[in-house]
Structure 1
Amino acid sequence: MPEPLLQLEAVQTHIGPYHILHGVSFGVQTGSLTMLLGRNGAGKTTTLRTIMGLWRASAGRIRFDGRDITASATPDIARAGIAYVPESMGIFTDLTVRENIVLAARSGPIDSARLDWMLGLFPALRRFWNLPAGNLSGGQKQMLAIARAIAEPRRLLLVDEPTKGLAPVMVRSMIEAFKALKEAGETVLLVEQNFYAASALGDDVLIMDDGRIVHSGRMSDLVADQSLQQRLLGLSLDAHQ
């Protein structure tokens, strides 16, 4: 196996008096879509925020493309090629869809071919291009948040629960968009609670519990093993179709 693009080695994170991550280790391969699953409070969001330097690892090491980024500042991590879409999305509701995306392209105007590709992933954004982002539905705001993250080419995309609270039709649209990102060769680490979406998208899967990785492997193997689903997640795929 080649060296992972992203590698966490025995990472621990404290937030104030709370010890959240307890020696988290895993790798994300270039070109893969890796699912990070687990119950609420397992440490998934903390893992993404620690990778981005928003919360500091208190022990362990984080390597990106062979470089140690454990102590790097968040802007430097972003400049290295990692984009983060938080669960809160963080869009500017008073700005138009166009202005939100223009602001995300820090290196200058977006290449027209890349813009067409992005709007092909999320056609609703084209329809609301010159309207305030606050007018969008929840699912459309999520699409805008992801589009902003890929306004410029990125080496790695971190996304926190993109289907949370979405209607089934929007979940299906989001699945199709991530399938297109996979086909384009993007590398994604995706936190998800919707097991149906996870099973449709994941190449690899990591499962967290109590701040630890308790399982890693191929997503297809987890989908095929309902007893493993029940043991690790307390669910089965059949219940979420």
Structure 2
Amino acid sequence: MSEPLLTLSGVHTHIGQYHILQGVELAVPRGSLTVLLGRNGAGKTTTLRTIMGLWQASAGSVTFDGRAIGAMSTPDIARAGIAYVPESMAVFSELTVRENLLLAARGGAPDGARLDWIFGFFPALKKFWNYPAGNLSGGQKQMVAIARAIVEPRKLLLIDEPTKGLAPAIIDSLIAAFRELKAGETTILLVEQNFNFVKNLGDNVCVMDDGRIVHAGAMADLVADEALQQRLLGLSLAAHQ
């Protein structure tokens, strides 16, 4: 078993007076898709933002690819090979789709073959290539945000609620894209509440509650155990099929 690509050990994060993460222990295996589940307010988004350096951990360590990144700036973390897709999508509304992707291409221009690969999953991006991103629908903006994160190969993708508000056809495209990314050895840490989506896609699952990881294991084991689903999440995945 190789070392995890990403490890959080005893991570605490405070936001103002609030103690959000309270000793998070998390390991993300290389080349896998790990799903982070939990109720609203459990600390999932804070975990992603702490990894990305947008919020600084007040204690503990974050290690990526054998390197401590907890004290690094967000741009340096991105340059190390991590991309982040926030729940808010955060596209540059006044810029075109093309300009949004250009900003994410560190070489100055996206690779043509890579763009064709992205267009295969999200053909609407090619159609609206020269449109201001702010004029797109919510689902199309989500496509821009994800395309921006994968316009260049990354070692790790942090993705927060990618299917929120998306049509089923677009979700199918996301599943195909994530599977190809995994096959290409991209590691993914995904926060998601669409259980039918993640049960077919996730390799591993971690469940958060009150700022801690309370369960970690194989996704297949959680899917097969309705009593465990009920105990950890207060629901059965079967209800979401």
TM-score (norm. length: structure 2) = 0.96
What CA distance in whole angstroms lies between the structure 2 residues aligned with 1:172 and 1:235?
Answer: 24
2:70 counterpart of 1:83: no
Question: 1:35: how far off?
Answer: 0.3
2:156 counterpart of 1:161: no
Q: Is the 2:38–2:207 Cα contact (8 Å) retained in structure 1?
A: yes
Question: 1:201: how far off?
Answer: 1.0
What CA distance in whole angstroms lies between the structure 2 residues aligned with 1:144 and 1:183?
Answer: 22
- Trace 1:111-122 onto structure 2 (pairs within 5 A): 111-122=111-122
- Quote the residue 1:220 is aligned against: 220
Question: 1:191: how far off?
Answer: 0.3
Aligned length: 241
- Trace 1:21-100 onto structure 2 (pairs within 5 A): 21-100=21-100
Q: CA RMSD in A?
A: 1.2
What CA distance in whole angstroms lies between the structure 1 residues aligned with 2:59 and 2:209?
Answer: 19
SS of match in other structure, 1:201: coil
What CA distance in whole angstroms lies between the structure 1 residues aligned with 2:127 and 2:225?
Answer: 42
Q: Is the 2:83–2:154 Cα contact (8 Å) retained in structure 1?
A: yes
Question: 1:116: how far off?
Answer: 1.3
Where structure 2 has 5 or more consecutive residues not aligned to the other structure, the ranges are: none
User: What fraction of aligned residue pairs are identical, expressed as a percent?
Assistant: 72
Question: 1:181: how far off?
Answer: 2.0
Q: Which moved more, 1:160-169 or 1:89-98?
A: 160-169
- Quote the residue 1:175 is aligned against: 175
What CA distance in whole angstroms lies between the structure 1 residues aligned with 2:126 and 2:165?
Answer: 23
- Trace 1:101-112 onto structure 2 (pairs within 5 A): 101-112=101-112
> Structure 1 pair 168/116, CA: closer, same or farther in 2 (3 Å)?
closer
Q: Which moved more, 1:212-221 or 1:118-127?
A: 118-127
What CA distance in whole angstroms lies between the structure 2 residues aligned with 1:6 and 1:151?
Answer: 21
Q: Counterpart of 1:4 in structure 2: which amino acid?
A: P
What CA distance in whole angstroms lies between the structure 1 residues aligned with 2:182 and 2:52?
Answer: 22
- Quote the residue 1:132 is aligned against: 132
What CA distance in whole angstroms lies between the structure 1 residues aligned with 2:239 and 2:115?
Answer: 38
Question: 1:152: how far off?
Answer: 1.6
Q: Spell out, residue by residue over 1:64-96, the C-alpha distance to the aligned partner (whole angstroms, 9 max, x if none).
A: 111111111111111111110101111012211
SS of match in other structure, 1:57: coil
2:204 counterpart of 1:207: no
What CA distance in whole angstroms lies between the structure 2 residues aligned with 1:174 and 1:151?
Answer: 15
TM-score (norm. length: structure 1) = 0.96
What CA distance in whole angstroms lies between the structure 2 residues aligned with 1:60 and 1:29?
Answer: 19
Question: 1:106: how far off?
Answer: 2.3
